[in-house]
Amino acid sequence: MLKYLRTSIFAVGVTGTVMILASLFWNASQVHKSTIEEARIQARIAHDEDVVYRNWNSRHGGVYVRVTDETRPNPYLADVADRDITTTTGERLTLVNPAFMTRQAHEYAGEWHNVAGHLTSLNPIRPGNKPDRWEWSALLDFEEGAEEVSSVAMVDGVEYFRLMKPLVAEQECLGCHAGQAYSPGEIRGGISMAVPMKPMRTIERSTILKLIMAHAALWIVGFTALLAGGRRLMRAEEARSSAEEDLKVHARKLEESNRLKDLFTDIMRHDLLNPTGIINCYADFILEREVDPRTRDFSVKIKNTAARLINMIDNASRFTHLKEMEAVECEDLDLGAVIEEAMLEVEECCGGAGVELVYRPSGEFPIRANTMLENVFVNLFSNAAKYAPEGERVEVDIEDGGKLWTVSVKDFGVGIPDEEKERVFCRFERLRKEGVQGTGLGLAISRHLVELHDGVIWAQDNPEGGAIFMVSLPKDGPRTDRLQVPRLELLEERLSA
């Protein structure tokens, strides 16, 4: 078991580590995707701005700007009439077309931020618009129907996110590009944007580092908790194994003790009854002859003592046997008939004591019970006869309690003190009364028999003087799951049903 527990703890640790690593890799991949997507958004925004300004310029047929050292007349517009004009104030102006404006805007943008733009074509008018290898591949993709091309690429040893969209020829563009024989709607090139990845990679690395630290902390906390819990489980398992081994030792000792008890019971039952029977026979032999009164008196005492010893052995053996029983087999009986049989069995004893047994109920009282139940009433009637004053009576009655039969055995003797009402059902416990013989096992045997039937037996005061022994028994017999339910709860359940 300890080996299995260690393997389980190791497996949990490995599984947890794999899950944390998987979580780290997944989150890092999401951060990487977010970085690429952020670069894509920046590139698209810059491209869309260029397109807006180009369209504005194109729809106005170009714009005139002051001729400066930075903005010289465009030699590629030499064939355009009115490329250069002079204002009424003598200021020289030159025509700036969309391509020229876009190129200058890209140059200015490079001074303000690192996003670089480039206007290019497979058939450029201006040599500076010649595409590089990446742009050439993208332009070919446009001719195949692609609407956008993007990827992360290295430019002069620097990492960029590059995006390019096609540039479509419009009617306004044909004036400047008449020599290239473009038609409206035809792809005549593209605008590429290059977003530097370094700033975003810095943020990405910082975020991934935080993820690594968080997952590492989670792993440390989890691994520490697993180790602590594992140690506790190991200690608990070691303690359980030790307790199990101790239990096995105690079980072996108990088994040996039970074996010795059974051996002692057998010795007491078989080996003691034999000499006791011989003693009884010798006493009968003496009593059958004419002997003097003193010898006869001693013989009677020997015979009574032997009978008492036989009764003690029988009760002790019966009690030992019953204590080992956890359930009894039941059959359909008449409780009234069982009580009447018990009364017949003790009739001679009661008659000798001058006590009358009075059975009041009549009719049938069906019950599921074991025939051993008769011993309960034999013990109760015998005790009542022993402790009742001579000439008194013992009244027996049965009450219908719905799911239960309740038998009462009422005597009119000296009664039982409150502190003794529970003790009389313990083995070898009985009330002290001069001249009354017994082992103190009768009521202990009775209680166990009643409990085997899911019943209850108790003693209470007789308002007229004496004691009343009460026995409540379920009519339908003991429940099959009686070992899992406390006896009093069973009775309460039956009474409330």
Question: Which pTM was predicted?
Answer: 0.46
In whole angstroms, what is the distance from residue 135 CA to residue 463 CA?
117
Distance separating alpha carbons of residues 438 and 314, to the nearest angstrom: 12
- Please list the ranges in the chain whose pLDDT falls under 50: 174, 178-181, 352, 428-439, 482-487, 490, 494-495, 497
355 occurs within a structural domain: yes
Looking at the DSSP assignment, which residues form a beta bridge with residue 94? 65, 84
SS (H, E, C) the chain: CHHHHHHHHHHHHHHHHHHHHHHHHHHHHHHHHHHHHHHHHHHHHHHHHHHHHHHHHHHCCCEEEECCCCCCCCHHHCCCCCCEEECCCCCEEEEECHHHHHHHHHHHHHHHCCCEEEEECCCCCCHHHCCCHHHHHHHHHHHCCCCCEEEEEEECCEEEEEEEEEEECCHHHCCCCHHHCCCCCCEEEEEEEEEECHHHHHHHHHHHHHHHHHHHHHHHHHHHHHHHHHHHHHHHHHHHHHHHHHHHHHHHHHHHHHHHHHHHHHHHHHHCHHHHHHHHHHHHHHHCCCCCHHHHHHHHHHHHHHHHHHHHHHHHHHHHHHHCCCCCCCEEEEHHHHHHHHHHHHHHHHHHHCCEEEECCCCCCEEEECCCHHHHHHHHHHHHHHHCCCCCEEEEEEEECCCEEEEEEECCCCCCCHHHCCHHHCCCCCCCCCCCCCCCCHHHHHHHHHHHCCCEEEEEECCCCCEEEEEEEECCCCCCCHHHCCHHHHHHHHHHC
How, if at all, do strands 158-168 and 149-155 pair?
antiparallel
- Indicate which CATH number applies to the domain containing 374: 3.30.565.10
CA angle 348, 351, 355 (to 5 degrees): 135
Instruction: Indicate if the alpha-carbon torsion angle 98, 99, 105, 106 is positive or negative.
Output: positive
* Domain-ending residue, one of 180, 203, 226: 203
Residue type at 99 in one-letter notation? A
Residue 441 belongs to some domain of the structure:
yes
How many domains would you assign to the chain?
A: 2
Cα gap 171→55, rounded to integer Å: 11
Instruction: Express each pLDDT in 425-475 by its tens digit.
Output: 875 444 444 443 444 577 888 888 888 888 999 999 989 888 999 999 999
- Residue 211 domain-assigned (yes or no): no
Six-digit token pair at 167? 């540039």
In the chain the first and final C-alpha atoms are separated, in Å, by: 47
Residue 313 forms part of a structural domain: no
Please report the pLDDT score of residue 457 as a whole number: 92
Residue 285 in domain: no
Same domain? For 189 and 331 the reply is no
Taking residue 418's Cβ as centre, other Cβ atoms within 10 Å add up to 10
Which structural domain, as residue segments, surrounds residue 112? Answer: 2-62+97-203
Domain membership flag for residue 404: yes
Contact 92, 81 (CB under 8 A): no
Residue 128 lies in a domain: yes
Per the DSSP assignment, residues forming a β-bridge with 358 are 395
Single residue among 187, 203, 219 that ends a domain in this structure? 203
Asked whether 496 and 476 are in contact (CB, 8 A), the reply is: no
User: In terms of domains, do 351 and 491 share one?
Assistant: yes
pLDDT of 163 reads 95
Residue 375 contacts residue 343 (beta carbons within 8 Å): no
Based on the domain organization, do 330 and 469 belong to the same domain?
A: yes
Write the CATH number for 41.
3.30.450
What pLDDT shows up at residue 439? Answer: 43
Dihedrals phi, psi of 397, to nearest 5 degrees: -140, 155
137, 168, 203 - which closes a domain: 203
Answer whether residue 415 is part of any domain: yes
